[in-house]
Amino acid sequence: MKVRIELAYKTPKGTEAAFVSDEMPAAKALLIAQDLMKTGRAFELAFVDSKDNTWTTKELTKLMEGIKTEPHDVKVYFDGGFDLGARDSGLGCVIYYKQNNKSYRLRKNALVQELNTNNEAEYAAFHLGLQELEFLGVHHLPVTFVGDSKVVINQLNGEWPCYERELSLWIDRIEAKLEKMGIQPEYEVVSRKMNREADQLASQALKGIEITSTIEIP
């Protein structure tokens, strides 16, 4: 979760000014805010998230304590592959997250047969990642989605228009689930090499190799 700090500041001679920080992780913002308050010159301090929700220091501290026991700092890698000859699609997703001060990696793939294009497979892989987040209990948090499909990423973030009905339906389905789960999506396009874990899972699905695993990582 990222927030910005908004505060008023008064010099020893009574000159006042208002300041707004850049967005930063909530834990870092709390540390900085606590240091500022020690000066005795900062007042009306508040934290504001990306949806303009406002939190006091006490409220944000309580929220962060609760988040520790739930999955957080979540990053989802996704990839879809399409076999034109067999009309099969392989979906893969890799989810990195933290919980109870430990780090985990979840890997999941699936073979589906009702899709018609590679772009549909990419969207389906994204949706598979969302389903796994729902199973994990991820909600009302920012989540970074990483893929090598410029079509999917740029259409979801609104940079590119979507004219294909099938893809529009996927966008509607994904946006509805994001809204329902309270997830604030952040998108990142990477090369296929940087997305090799999800790509491998999609390829394995096309070969009939099913994978579902969660491990703790250093």
Shared-domain flag, residues 169 and 189: yes
Tens of pLDDT along the chain (218 residues) come to: 789 999 998 888 889 999 999 998 888 999 999 898 888 888 889 999 877 889 899 998 888 887 778 899 999 999 999 999 999 999 999 999 999 989 999 999 999 999 999 999 999 999 999 999 999 999 988 899 999 999 999 999 999 999 999 999 999 999 999 999 999 999 999 999 999 999 999 999 999 999 999 999 98
Domain span at residue 19? 2-67
Shared-domain flag, residues 131 and 99: yes
CATH number of domain containing 136: 3.30.420.10
Boundary of a domain, candidates 39, 67, 95: 67
Shared-domain flag, residues 60 and 76: no
Q: What is the dihedral of CA 155, 183, 115, 157, to 10 degrees?
A: 0
Shared-domain flag, residues 86 and 166: yes
Shared-domain flag, residues 48 and 101: no
Shared-domain flag, residues 55 and 76: no
Split into its structural domains, the chain has a count of 2
- Determine what percent of the chain falls in helix, strand and coil, rounding each to the nearest 5: 35, 35, 25
